[in-house]
Every structure is written in structure tokens, then in C-alpha cells.
Amino acid sequence: MADPQKAPNEYQVADPAEFARNMVKVAVQSQRLMTDFLKGQARKSKSNGQSQDPLNLGQTFVDFLGHAMRDPNHFVEANVRFWQDHLALWQQTARGMLGQDAPPVIEPASGDKRFKDKDWSENQIFNFIKQSYLLSARSMQRTMGEVKGLDEKTRKKIDFYTKQFADALSPTNFLMTNPEVLRATFQSNGENLVKGLNNMLKDLERGKGQLQIQQTDMAFFEVGRNLALTPAKIVFQNDLMQLIQYMPTTEQQYERPLVIFPPWINKYYILDLGEKNSFVKWATAQGYTVFVASWVNPDATLAQKTFEDYMREGIFAALDAIEKACGAKEVNAIGYCIGGTLLSATLAYMAAKGDNRIKSATFFAAQADFSESGDLQVFIDDAQLQSMEEMMKASGGYLDGAKMATTFNMLRSNDLIWSFVVNNYLLGKDPMRFDLLYWNSDTTRMPAQMHLFYLRECYKENNLARGKMVLGGEKLDMSKVKIPVYLQSAKEDHIAPYRSVYKSTKLFKGPVTFMMAGSGHIAGVINHPDANKYQYWTNEKIPERVEDWIAGATETPGSWWPHWDKWLSKQSGKKVDARVPGDGKLKVIEDAPGTYAKMK
């Protein structure tokens, strides 16, 4: 228990007069905040042409209630469990207040950072609030999740949005129930709330009436100044991408170049954030001739670009350009996330056409079989896709990058939404400087035709894995792809879950290496060996089930990059004199990172 002599001082206003003045400022700012928000909502309702229920939650919960009402005893039993849990909590709290040993009734899940402040454990009042919330959240999610008769898609949707609701109600998100915020408010005489509301007003203004939470110090970073600094040149460009060729750092390089196709949902420089975490800098130092596609940030003029256009003007254009740049007709390729899905589809198309220019493929956190693609599935149904199509038409034929970012942030709402609400608005702190969060906020737009094809064909229908996707008049058959494949997954990936990535081991029919890294969708990929972080698991066997693969896997501490390098070097041919951008048939257009990477 906290020191009884210390606790009152921590939760006592330092200067009542100053506190009162700041509360007046808070009242004035709150009024302006509400006015700006309502104006933004009015503008949105007039201009976006979107359904009033874009997430199709109304019908989802109608279906839920229809099944729930058939079994009223379920809710009676749930209420009994709820009160039994809280009775145990009351008893535990009473024992604690009497100075007796009182082990917690419930603890936060491993990795839950919300309750790290000491008073969540040491102060009996806040300890009670914490445990009461955790019991209530568990009861709510269990009660909703155990309703019988729901189809699997509806159940997943109910589970997801119930968790979103529970996360939003966390006591950490409110002034009066967060000990850290309360202490800051009393000790600063409310100055934290004044600053926090200023931060919120700026975020509303930047989002034009929609709250666009700033995750990092956006003014501190600039692409080409303190991000994406590995020396390179733009040697080719078209409507959809600029091709970057990196300067060699070794006298000789492998004969077969390496070309990387990042996701076009964000900018390419996740692979080149800084000196100490740049994948492309490290790969160049291993002796690879590295090319990277830097995708354009499309506007209304590119609204009709299709998934097939990304294949032809992206992958095929890059292959043609690489041959001109250094005379190499054969390459090794990497596809990251949606770039990997495109690469999978392209390989199937190339196999059908007898095109064998790509000799090996590596996939970073990429899916080809979407049957177990995780929580993103809750956003994909006919009603939501129809609503998205209407919204994209109204906005000029593309999906705004901020809306895509919000969707991804919801998958980890406590880390990527509510932690910033607490830091920026309740504590009144400036966002920290973090290169990865800057990249995460540097969003790109999605052309309507391409994006709807991707969502319908992959997430909704799973046509690539089922052999029913058609590109360029060819029905794609993944079993025809027989080149060596390296599949990277990550244990905590919430966008491309490892069990979903593992399904690709059954689609490709050549030699397949599957590897699972520690951490998630980004840190599981971008893990420089010098950092000595995380670990990875390998298993030479590819059993039917991923659980069996894990059971037989070997854990190795640190980065998986050297393991991949050992694999790729065997696919890369002999060493030749290093290639310098501009020495071949393609002349340098401009220095990297290039125009496309800086487009807003």
C-alpha cells in the first residue's frame, strides 16, 4: 500500500487560484472544441456521400440480438458470474484495506501497458477500479462471445467491436480514474488539461473536423533529411512507381539483383528508416544489388488503376528496367505485406506465361491465402464494401490514407489510439519523436479500382488461394509456382497472422522455407542484427498444421536477417563487379528518396 503520509500530497492541488484559472481556460477550449467538431461533422455529412452505417454494425447487432433472445438463461448465468466475480473483488479489497494478504482477483493480460503506473497496484482505490474494470470487460466479452447460433463472421465482428467498446471504457482513458493523470492535474494546477485541449484542437483542425491523433512529432522528421538516407538513385519511373537503385558498398556484388516491392499502403522507407535499422543498407553491405519500388501516392487522376496495373507498371516494369540498368535478366524478389500478395499473384501469372525472370521469392508478412487473415476480416462484407465504394467515388476515386490508418490502428487500439489520447490530451504532453510512428502516419491513398479488387478478391472471396483470381486473362494457379520461396512471419503480427502466412506453404510447390520472427508486423521484419533484439524460430520440416511446425521449431535469439542472407546467397549466383546506378542503359533521374516518396 502507498505511504499514507505521501498519498494526500500527490493528489492535492498545488495552487488553488492557478488551478481555478486553468479550469476556466479548459471550459472555454472545450466549448470551442465541441463547436469545431460539430462543424466538421456537418461538413462530412454533406460531402462524403457515405452510408450512415459504413461498418454495417446495425445489421450485425440485429443478428446478434435475434440469437441472444433465444437463450435468456445465458444472460442470467452471465450476471450470476459477474456478481460472483465482483463479490470476490470486494472481499479481496476489504482484506487489503485491513492490511491482510490480498492477492488480486484478476490481473491485466501480459503485455497490457495501460496499468503500469505504481498506484494501480499500490493504492487500494485504484487497484479496485482496475480490477473492477478488468472483470467487467472480461464478463462483457465472454457474455457477447458465448451467444449460440451466430455464424463465424458475425461472431468475429461482435467480438472485435465488443473489445473496442471495452478498450474505450478503460479507466486509464478518463481524468478522474487515472492516477497518473490526476497527479499531473493537481501538481500542474490543470496546465496539462489546457495543453491537452490545445493538442486536441490542433488535431481536429488538421483532420478538418475529424480527430486525427498525432502519434509522433511530425515536424521533426523529413524524408531525405533524417529518414531514407542510404545513398541511392532513381533510375526509372512511370505513373505508379519510381525504381530506386542503391549505391554499392562492396567491390563485388552477387550476379542476380534483388528487387523489393513494399506495400503501397505506406511509403517504401520502412526499409530505410535510419542508420541503425535500415534493411536496404544492410542488404547492400551483404553484396546484393538492391532495387526498391517507391510507389506513387495516387490522386483522382489514377483512380482507375487496377491490381493488374500494379503488376504490369510495378513488377513487370521494374524487371524490364533492371535488365536495362545492369544487364541482368534474372532477379530475386521480395514482397512485403500487400506487395507480397501482388508478388504471389504475379508469380502465378508468370508461371502460366512461361516467364521465369524471378528466380526466388521472399515474402515479408505477406498473405496469399486469406481464410485466416485475422481481425481485418471484420471490415470486409458486402455492405461495408458498398459503403467504401460510395465514399471513394465521392472523394474523387480513391481511399484517403488517414481512413486506412484508422482501420489498422483499431487492430491495436490500446497501443495506437488510447495511449496517445492519454499522453497527448489528458497528460498534455507532446508526442515523442519516433521514426517508425512517423512512417506509420505518412499514409498514402488507394486507387478505388485496385483497392476494391484487392478486398473482394483476397479478403472476401479468397480467390487467389482458390485458383479463381484472373489477371490479364489468366486464371491464376499458385501450384504452378515452383521457384524457391522464403516465408517470413511474426509471432505477434495482427495484420498478417503467422497462421495465415503459413498457409502459403501449401500453395507454392517449389522448395519452401518458413520462418517465424518475434514481435509484430513491422518490428518482426525490421530487426537489424546489431540491435540484438527478439528472436526467430526455424524448422526444416513443413507439416500440415502450423501448430506442429511450432512444436518442432528451434528458437534462435536475435535477428533473422543473417538466416535469410544464408538462404538468399545460394539463390544469387556468382560475384561480379559492383553495379553503379547510371552506368547501364538507364540514366539517373534524381537522387533517392525521390519525388514519389515525398508526395503528400
pLDDT value, residue 51: 57
Query: What does the alpha-carbon distance between residue 460 and residue 385 come to, in Å, rounded to a whole number?
Result: 10
Q: Does position 481 have pLDDT exceeding 80, yes or no?
A: yes
- Mean pLDDT in the chain? 91
Residue 439: inside a domain: no
Q: Which of 189, 223, 256 is the last residue of a domain?
A: 189
**Given this model, what pLDDT does residue 42 score?**
63
Within a domain: 200: no
- Residue 58 domain flag: yes
Q: In this structure, are 185 and 244 located in the same domain?
A: no
Any catalytic annotation for residue 337?
A: yes
**pLDDT tens digits for range 182-235:** 999 999 999 999 999 999 989 888 877 778 899 999 999 999 999 999 999 999
Same domain, 168 and 255: no
pLDDT, tens digit (0-9, with 9 covering 90-100), for 96-147: 888 888 899 999 998 899 999 999 999 999 999 999 999 999 999 998 888 8
Q: In what order do the strands lie in the sheet with 241-246?
A: 554-557, 535-538, 512-517, 485-490, 358-364, 331-336, 258-261, 290-295, 241-246, 232-237, 590-591
**pLDDT recorded at residue 451:** 95
Mean pLDDT within 243-257: 98
Is the model's pLDDT at 39 over the cut of 80? no
**Tens-place pLDDT, residues 584-600:** 999 999 999 999 999 98
Instruction: Pick the closest to residue 464 from 474, 451, 477 (CA basis).
Output: 477
Read off the pLDDT of each residue in 516-528 and give the average, rounded to a whole number.
96
pLDDT of residue 11: 83
For CA atoms 325, 328, 330, 335, the dihedral sign is: negative
Give yes or no: residues 169 and 260 share one domain.
no
Within this chain, do residues 45 and 125 fall inside the same structural domain, yes or no? Answer: yes
Confidence of residue 40 (pLDDT cuts 50, 70, 90): low
Does the residue 505 lie in any domain?
yes
Residues 167 and 239 occupy one common structural domain: no
Q: Is residue 222 part of a domain?
A: no
Selected catalytic residue, list 184, 227, 337, 495:
337
Q: What confidence score (pLDDT) does residue 1 get?
A: 41
**Distances from the Cα of 451 to the Cα of 67, 264, 317, 567, angstroms:** 34, 11, 20, 33
Report the 10 Å Cβ neighbour count for 357: 16
Say yes or no: 179 and 243 in one domain: no
Residue at 154 is within a domain: yes
- The three cell numbers locating residue 192: 496539462
Percent of the residues in the chain that have a pLDDT greater than 70, as a whole number: 96
* Terminal-to-terminal C-alpha distance of the chain: 52
Domains identified in the chain, total number: 2
Q: Please give the Cα distance from 361 to 486 (Å, whole number).
A: 6
Domain that includes residue 287, residue range: 232-371+462-598
Concatenating the DSSP letter of every residue in 10-27 gives: HTS-S-HHHHHHHHHHHH
pLDDT digits (tens, 9 = 90+) for 293-316: 999 999 999 999 999 999 999 999
Q: What is the pLDDT of residue 117?
A: 95
**Res 479: pLDDT:** 97
Query: Do 186 and 11 touch, CB atoms closer than 8 A?
Result: yes
Grid coordinates representing 49 are 456521400
Torsion sign across C-alpha atoms 488, 493, 494, 499:
positive
- Select from 189, 224, 257 the last residue of a domain: 189
**Residue at which a domain ends, from 156, 189, 222:** 189
> Does 184 share its domain with 243?
no
Q: Is residue 195 part of a domain?
A: no
Whether residue 3 is predicted with pLDDT greater than 60 in this model: the reply is no
Note the pLDDT tens digit of each residue in 372-430: 998 888 888 888 899 899 989 998 999 988 888 888 888 889 998 999 999 999 999 99
CATH number at residue 490: 3.40.50.1820
Give residue 23's pLDDT: 79
From residue 28, alpha-carbon distances to 6, 184, 202, 367 in Å are: 34, 21, 15, 50
Model pLDDT, residue 75: 79
Percent of the chain with pLDDT over 90: 73
Please give the pLDDT value at position 5.
42
Mean pLDDT, rounded, for 32-55: 64
Domain match, 141 and 242 both = no
443 within domain boundaries: no
Shared domain for 252 and 116, answered yes or no, is: no
The verdict on 295 and 355 lying in the same domain is yes
Q: Are residues 11 and 119 in the same domain?
A: yes
Looking at the structure, tell me whether residues 181 and 237 fall in a common domain.
no
